[in-house]
Amino acid sequence: MPARTAVVASRIGLHARPASLVSLAAAGTGVPVVIEAHGRSVNAASILGILSLDVNHGDEVVVSADDPAAVDALIALLERDLTED
C-alpha cells in the first residue's frame, strides 16, 4: 500500500474545518484511505477518527491507500493551510 508523509500546514492543525475537508476528500477517492499520527491510524474518511488523532500544526502524518493518486490528493490538502480557503 503506497504511503507518504506530510507535515500539516493548517495553522489550527487537523481540527474543525481542515479535518472536515480532509475526510470529505478521502471519502471522495472511492478507496479506503488511512491516516496515521502519534502512533495511531484511522480511516481518513472519518472526521471523528481524524479529530481523535489530535494533530496540530507542524505535526507529521502518514497517508496510505491502494491508489497512489488518492495518497497524492490527500498529501496536497494536508500541505496547505486549509483555514484560509
Return the bridge partners of 6, or none.
61
Q: Cell digits for 10?
A: 493548517
Q: Are 34 and 46 in contact (CB under 8 A)?
A: no
Catalytic choice (9, 12, 15, 51) = 15
Is 15 part of the annotated catalytic residue set?
Answer: yes
C-alpha span between 71 and 85 (Å, rounded): 21
Q: Which residues are catalytic?
A: 15
